[in-house]
C-alpha cells in the first residue's frame, strides 16, 4: 500500500474560518424554488408554503449564507413583481430559463424562509435589463426602517422591521454571451461603480460583490477582472468567481483533481485584484466571493433556446455519485486553504438544481452524496485554518500533469481545542496516511468520519436515500484512505 505523510503545526496558520464560506444559492430556476423550498399544499409545507422537510435538511447541511434570486434569472427580474399581495402579482416569462414565473414566491417569502433556515441573505440586483434606480429602491425596501417610499411600501406589505441585508451582488455573469443585458468589461465596471456608489448612499454599511468572469475559461478572463476593478475598486468589496466541474468534459483523473484547478483560479484572481490595487495605489484589498461552485454535468445541459416554455421545468437535476462527493469535499478543502482572501462561498444550488438536497413534488426530500462532505465540513471547520505539509504519491492527470493523490487542510479551534483534518484520496488505490502531530502534544484522536464506497458510482435516490452515508469509526494518527474517498479526522485536546 502506498503511504502519505501529513505534518501539522499551529504555526501554519492561514486565517480564521469565515462562516460565509459555507453559503449556498437559491435561484428561480427549474425546481429550486417551486416544489423545492416552496410548495403550498405539500404535506410538509407550513402556512406560508415553506417545506419543513427541506428546511430541516438545510439546517443540517449547515448553510450560513444564501444568494438569491439568481443567477441568470436576476438579469431580467423585476423585484417589485414578487412583493405585495400574492393575488396582484403578475405572471411573467423569465427569459433566462424560458420559464413561466408566477411570482408566488418573492423577496419577503425568501426572507421569511431565510429566517426559518437561520441563514444570512445575500441579494443580487438586476444590472441586465435594469440599473441604478431599481437597485437603490431595492436596498431602500430591504434596509431602511421607515419614512421613504420604498421602506413604507415594505411596511405596507406587512414587514415592519427592515431585512437588513449586508451582502449584495452587482448583477450576475455580465460577461456571458448568454446573459440578458450582457456588457463589456468597461461598460459593466462603470455601471457597477455607479450602482454601487448609489446603493451605499442608501446604506453605507452594505458590502458589494462585483461580477468577475463567468469562469476561468472565458476568453476575457483576468482582463475582465482587471478592467472591472479599475472602474469600481473604491465602491466594491469583493470580486466574484464562478466555477463548475463537469465529470464528462476531461479525462476522469483530471475531474478527480478539480481542486487543483480551483487553487489556480483563486490565486489568479487574487493576483489580478492585487495588481489593480498596486496600479491604483490603494490600501484596501478586494476579497473573493466564490458565489457559484459545484460539480455540474454541464455537457448534458440543453440550452434554453432548444426547450419549450414551461412552468417549473425539471432543469439540471444532476444525480451525484461518490466520486462527485469526493470532488466537492476537495473543493471545500481548496476554499479553506484560501481563507485569507476567499471569504464568501455559495455552492450552486441548494435544492433540486445541481443540488445537495433533492425533492419530489408532493414527495419526500433526500440528501445527495455531495450533501455529506459539505455538512460535515460546515459543522467541523472552526477557529483557524492551518496549512498542511503533505508528502504523497503522485497521480497523472491530463490537465494538470502529476498531482499528489492526497490533499488536505486542517482547522484548529483555540477555544475548544478541537483539531480537524479534512483529507481526500483522489486516486484509485488505497493509501495509508500517517499524521505527524508532534506540534500538538496534548491532542488525542477522537473520530474518523469517511465517505467511501466500493462502488464509486453509487448515488442516493428517493427510493434509496441512504445508500451512501458517512461512516464513523475511532480516530487515529495512522488511517487507511480507500480509493476516491473523503475524510474528516478529529482530535481532542486532553490537558
Ligand atoms: O447555477 C446555474 C446557472 O449557472 C446560474 O444561473 C448562472 O449564474 C450560471 O451560469
Query: Is there an atom of ligand 1 within 6 Å of 71 CB?
Result: yes
Predicted confidence at residue 4, as pLDDT, reads: 98
For all residues of the chain together, what is the average pLDDT?
A: 97
Looking from the CA of residue 70, the nearest atom of ligand 1 is: 6
Residue 363 has pLDDT above 90, yes or no: no
Predicted confidence at residue 386, as pLDDT, reads: 98
Best of 23, 28, 70, 72 to mutate for ligand 1, by most ligand atoms within 8 A of CB? Answer: 72
- pLDDT tens-digit profile of 230-275? 999 999 999 999 999 999 999 999 999 999 999 999 999 999 999 9
Mean pLDDT, rounded, for 359-381 = 96
Q: How far apart are CA 275 and CA 237, in angstroms?
A: 16
Residue 157 has pLDDT above 90, yes or no: yes
Residue nearest to atom 7 of ligand 1 (CA): 71
Query: Is there an atom of ligand 1 within 6 Å of 291 CB?
Result: no
Q: How many residues appear in the chain?
A: 495
Q: What percent of the chain is predicted at pLDDT more than 90?
A: 99
Q: Find where cell 472552526 sits.
A: 382
Helix ranges (DSSP H) in 89-247: 107-117, 132-143, 149-156, 185-202, 223-232
Predicted confidence at residue 93, as pLDDT, reads: 97
Predicted confidence at residue 11, as pLDDT, reads: 95
- pLDDT tens-digit profile of 271-324? 999 999 999 999 999 999 999 999 999 999 989 999 999 999 999 999 999 999
Binned at pLDDT 50, 70 and 90, residue 164 comes out as very high
Query: Is there an atom of ligand 1 within 6 Å of 356 CB?
Result: no
**H helix and E strand count, the chain:** 10, 26
Is-contact 298 343, C-beta < 8 A?
no
* CATH classification code of 18-381: 3.20.20.80
Q: Classify domain 2-10+385-493 at the CATH class level.
A: mainly beta
Binned at pLDDT 50, 70 and 90, residue 1 comes out as confident
Predicted confidence at residue 446, as pLDDT, reads: 98
Residue nearest to atom 1 of ligand 1 (CA): 348
Residue nearest to atom 5 of ligand 1 (CA): 71
Residue 472 has pLDDT above 90, yes or no: yes
Query: Is there an atom of ligand 1 within 6 Å of 243 CB?
Result: no
Where does the chain hold its CATH 3.20.20.80 domain(s)?
A: 18-381
Best of 27, 74, 98, 126 to mutate for ligand 1, by most ligand atoms within 8 A of CB? Answer: 27
Q: How far is the CA of 103 from the centre of ligand 1 (A)?
A: 20
- pLDDT tens-digit profile of 315-357? 999 999 999 999 999 999 999 999 999 999 999 999 999 999 9
Query: Is there an atom of ligand 1 within 6 Å of 27 CB?
Result: yes
Query: Is there an atom of ligand 1 within 6 Å of 173 CB?
Result: yes
214, exposed or middle or buried, with CB in 10 Å at 0-12, 13-18, 19+? buried
C-alpha cell at 376: 460535515
Query: What distances in angstroms separate CA 330 from CA 82, 112, 301, one per listed residue?
Result: 37, 33, 24
Query: What distances in angstroms separate CA 3 from CA 234, 323, 394, 396, 479, one per listed residue?
Result: 49, 21, 11, 17, 10
Residue nearest to atom 4 of ligand 1 (CA): 71
C-alpha cell at 309: 416554455
pTM beyond 0.95, yes or no = yes
Q: What percent of the chain is predicted at pLDDT more than 70?
A: 100
Residue 495 has pLDDT above 90, yes or no: no
- pLDDT tens-digit profile of 56-75? 999 999 999 999 999 999 99
Predicted confidence at residue 362, as pLDDT, reads: 85
Q: How far apart are CA 468 and CA 455, in angstroms?
A: 10
Predicted confidence at residue 361, as pLDDT, reads: 82
Q: Which residues contact 254 (CB under 8 A, 6 or more apart)?
A: 397, 398, 399, 400
What amino acid positions are annotated as catalytic residues?
Answer: 173, 292
143, exposed or middle or buried, with CB in 10 Å at 0-12, 13-18, 19+? buried
* 3-class DSSP state of 103: coil
Best of 26, 122, 172, 181 to mutate for ligand 1, by most ligand atoms within 8 A of CB? Answer: 172
- The DSSP code for 484 is S
Q: Which of 35, 68, 70 is nearest to 54 (CA)?
A: 35
Where does the chain hold its CATH 2.60.40.1180 domain(s)?
A: 2-10+385-493
Mean pLDDT, rounded, for 86-103 = 97
Amino acid at each position: 500500500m502506498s503511504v502519505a505523510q501529513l505534518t501539522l503545526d499551529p504555526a501554519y496558520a492561514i486565517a480564521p474560518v469565515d462562516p460565509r464560506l459555507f453559503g449556498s444559492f437559491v435561484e428561480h430556476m427549474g425546481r429550486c424554488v417551486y416544489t423545492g423550498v416552496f410548495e403550498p399544499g405539500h404535506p410538509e409545507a407550513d402556512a406560508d408554503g415553506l417545506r419543513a422537510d427541506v428546511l430541516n435538511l438545510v439546517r443540517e447541511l449547515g448553510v450560513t449564507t444564501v444568494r438569491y434570486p439568481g443567477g441568470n434569472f436576476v438579469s431580467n427580474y423585476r423585484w417589485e413583481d414578487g412583493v405585495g399581495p400574492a393575488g396582484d402579482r403578475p405572471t411573467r416569462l423569465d427569459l433566462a430559463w424560458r420559464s413561466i414565473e408566477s411570482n408566488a414566491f418573492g423577496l419577503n417569502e425568501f426572507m421569511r424562509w431565510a429566517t426559518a433556515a437561520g441563514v444570512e441573505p445575500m441579494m443580487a440586483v438586476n444590472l441586465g435589463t435594469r440599473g441604478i434606480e431599481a437597485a437603490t429602491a431595492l436596498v431602500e425596501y430591504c434596509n431602511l426602517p421607515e419614512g421613504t417610499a420604498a421602506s413604507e411600501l415594505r411596511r405596507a406589505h406587512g414587514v415592519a422591521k427592515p431585512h437588513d441585508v449586508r451582502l449584495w451582488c452587482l448583477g450576475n455573469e455580465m460577461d456571458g454571451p448568454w446573459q440578458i443585458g450582457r456588457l463589456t468589461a468597461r461598460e459593466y465596471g462603470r455601471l457597477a461603480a455607479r450602482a454601487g456608489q448609489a446603493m451605499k448612499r442608501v446604506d453605507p454599511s452594505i458590502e458589494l460583490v462585483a461580477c468577475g468572469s463567468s469562469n476561468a475559461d472565458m476568453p476575457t478572463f483576468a482582463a475582465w477582472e482587471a478592467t472591472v476593478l479599475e472602474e469600481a475598486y473604491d465602491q466594491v468589496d469583493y470580486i466574484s468567481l464562478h466555477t463548475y466541474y463537469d465529470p464528462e468534459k476531461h479525462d476522469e483523473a483530471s475531474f478527480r483533481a478539480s481542486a487543483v484547478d480551483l487553487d489556480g483560479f483563486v490565486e489568479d484572481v487574487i493576483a489580478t485584484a492585487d495588481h489593480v490595487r498596486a496600479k491604483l495605489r490603494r490600501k484596501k484589498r478586494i476579497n473573493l466571493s466564490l458565489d457559484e461552485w459545484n460539480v455540474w454535468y454541464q455537457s448534458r445541459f440543453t440550452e434554453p433556446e432548444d426547450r419549450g416554455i414551461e412552468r417549473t421545468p425539471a432543469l439540471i437535476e444532476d444525480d451525484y455519485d461518490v466520486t462527485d462527493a469526493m470532488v466537492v469535499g476537495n473543493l471545500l478543502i481548496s476554499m479553506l486553504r484560501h481563507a485569507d482572501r476567499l471569504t464568501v462561498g455559495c455552492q450552486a444550488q441548494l435544492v433540486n438544481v445541481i443540488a445537495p438536497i433533492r425533492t419530489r413534488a408532493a414527495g419526500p426530500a433526500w440528501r445527495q452524496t455531495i450533501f455529506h462532505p459539505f455538512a460535515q465540513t460546515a459543522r467541523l471547520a472552526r477557529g483557524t485554518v492551518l496549512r498542511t505539509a503533505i508528502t504523497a504519491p503522485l497521480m497523472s492527470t491530463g490537465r494538470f500533469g502529476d498531482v499528489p493523490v492526497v490533499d488536505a487542510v486542517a482547522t484548529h479551534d483555540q477555544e475548544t481545542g478541537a483539531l480537524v483534518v479534512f483529507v481526500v484520496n483522489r486516486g484509485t488505490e488505497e493509501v495509508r496516511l500517517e499524521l505527524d502531530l508532534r506540534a500538538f502534544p496534548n491532542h488525542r484522536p477522537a473520530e474518523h468520519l469517511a465517505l467511501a464506497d466500493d462502488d464509486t458510482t453509487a448515488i442516493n435516490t428517493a427510493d434509496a436515500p441512504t445508500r451512501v452515508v458517512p461512516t464513523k469509526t475511532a480516530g487515529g494518527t495512522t488511517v487507511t484512505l480507500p480509493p476516491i474517498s473523503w475524510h474528516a479526522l478529529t482530535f481532542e485536546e486532553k490537558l
